[in-house]
Amino acid sequence: MTSSNTPPSPLSLSAPAPLAGEVRVPGDKSISHRAIMLSALAVGRSEVRGLLEGEDVLATAAAMRAMGAQVERLGQGHWVVDGVGVGGLLQPDAQLDMGNSGTSTRLLMGLVSSHPITATFVGDASLSRRPMGRVIEPLSRIGAEITASPDGRLPLMLRGADTPLPIHYRLPVASAQVKSAILLAGLNIGAETVVEEPVPTRDHSERMLKGFGAELSVEPMADGGKRIAVRGWAELKPQTLEVPGDPSSAGFLLVAALIVPGSNITIHGVGLNPTRDGLVRVLQEMGADITKLNEREVGGEPVADLLVTHSALTGIEVPPEVAPSMIDEYPILFVAAALASGRTVMRGIEELRVKESDRIAAMAAGLRAAGVAVEELPDGLIVEGSGGEKVAGGCTVATHLDHRIAMSFAVLSLAAKTAITVDDRAPIATSFPDFLPLMQRLGAVQA
């Protein structure tokens, strides 16, 4: 994990020439977390290739080791996991350090909640500010006893239920993490656990649970949502998995190529699950030249190579209903909007205020400092674009320990008259440790 005592390492990039080349982004973060967890709950050895080796996923791997699974790295992105079986998690000897990973925390809370063990979850300063109430509430209904810090934050101690109870839970807000936490808890409950989601969210958990052999059903509801049910006391079977490229990481390279004149790049093997491809669809609506090549399926997920060419973007009003399919990509969409012609309006994204940072406020402040006109809304942001002209830049932006803020402004610096400096590159390692090497391979240089 990145130490809080490590001095900050600023970063600024420039593009002296068009970006060009072919690259592959690291494995999908959401899928990587779930691959480790479900492999640890199978009986036998699973093999995972293409695993993202960012700090967030390493936190998940360390936690599963602490609860009895054997998790071993064989090579770059190549891991094997010897699972303990559903119901076989062991009492960890020490606190589970989640670093900066909200996904690790919420999903592992779900796992522990239906096992008769106790775990204490801790995290870094950023994670410790993030509320866990939305997952504490349903897991308490299952029978878990949870003692959290004020406002439902870390550190927190969770004592799993000796006799966990099945629940039928309707999500009050769209959240793939809360949905997944409940489904993972349901694996060790001797009945059917049901989650209703009013707005469909990323479905990696459902796909992977089925792949590992869980009895799971997904049915549409009359209101447009989904009813997901999992049968407990599951016997998960070990798998050989390949993790597709992370669409969230690809988003930074996509936008970089779109805003640097003359650029033409290919990003290989990008996961394009329809619950995750919102950024590509929105950018294309803004006029982005993005072509899908070699469309195929990898590990049960749709994948394609993306050919991206510099484009003149036009501001649009982004439909709020697209938010669940791209909630993590809004910071880099704000950057694309800053270079578009006209106004881009983005609403219905209040979820961004409780991410690693308040991403709406942090991005608004940084964009203003870089000379971009923005209007901050309670649930979104309005960005007045430059029409393709370079933004002023010449500022230092606070990342607030948020990897997506750091990468977004590093990309914006490529289209600035004077370089934009990110106050600390260290948070980038949580999700995309190869970000800087890949950007340099495409032609970006450290300013």
| Catalytic residue set | 328
Positions of E strands within 56-122: 70-75, 78-84, 96-97, 118-122
Side by side, the strands of the sheet bearing 153-159 are: 96-97, 118-122, 153-159, 145-149
28 is in an annotated binding site: no
328 is in an annotated binding site: yes
402 is in an annotated binding site: no
102 is in an annotated binding site: yes
175 is in an annotated binding site: yes
112 φ, ψ (degrees, to nearest 5): -65, -30
- Amino acid at the residue 210: K
Rounded Cα distance, 229 and 247, in Å: 27
Q: What is the largest CA-CA distance in the chain?
A: 62
How big is the CA angle at 287 (ends 281 and 290), to the nearest 5 degrees? 60
205 is in an annotated binding site: no
Rounded Cα distance, 296 and 293, in Å: 9
Rounded Cα distance, 139 and 73, in Å: 32
404 is in an annotated binding site: yes
Q: Give yes or no for a contact between 255 and 335, defined as CB atoms under 8 angstroms apart.
A: yes
130 is in an annotated binding site: yes
Q: Which long-range contacts (CB under 8 A, 24 or more apart) does 387-390 make?
A: 387/340, 387/341, 387/342, 388/261, 388/312, 388/313, 388/339, 388/340, 388/341, 390/415, 390/416, 390/417
SS (H, E, C) 114-150: CCCCEEEEECCCCHHHCCCHHHHHHHHHHCCEEEEEH
Q: Give yes or no for a contact between 301 and 343, defined as CB atoms under 8 angstroms apart.
A: no
For 60, 99, 367, the CA distances from 105, given in Å and listed in that order, are 8, 9, 31
Matching residue, tokens 């993306």: 306
| Ranges of H-type helices in 187-235 | 204-211
24 is in an annotated binding site: no
Task: Tell how far CA 268 is from the center of its chain.
Answer: 19
113 is in an annotated binding site: no
DSSP secondary structure string, 388-420? TPPEEE--EE--TT-HHHHHHHHHHGGGEEEPP
46 is in an annotated binding site: no
- Ramachandran sector of residue 294 (left: φ over 0; alpha: ψ -120 to 50; beta: rest): left
H or E, element range at 103: helix 102-113
Where does residue 380 rank: exposed (0-12), middle (13-18), buried (19+ CB within 10 A)?
Answer: buried
Q: Residue 401's closest CA among 420, 424, 421?
A: 424
Binding residues: 29-30, 34, 102, 130, 175, 177, 328, 355, 359, 404
Q: Which residues are annotated as a binding site for 3-phosphoshikimate?
A: 29-30, 34, 175, 177, 328, 355
Q: Which residues are annotated as a binding site for phosphoenolpyruvate?
A: 29, 102, 130, 177, 359, 404
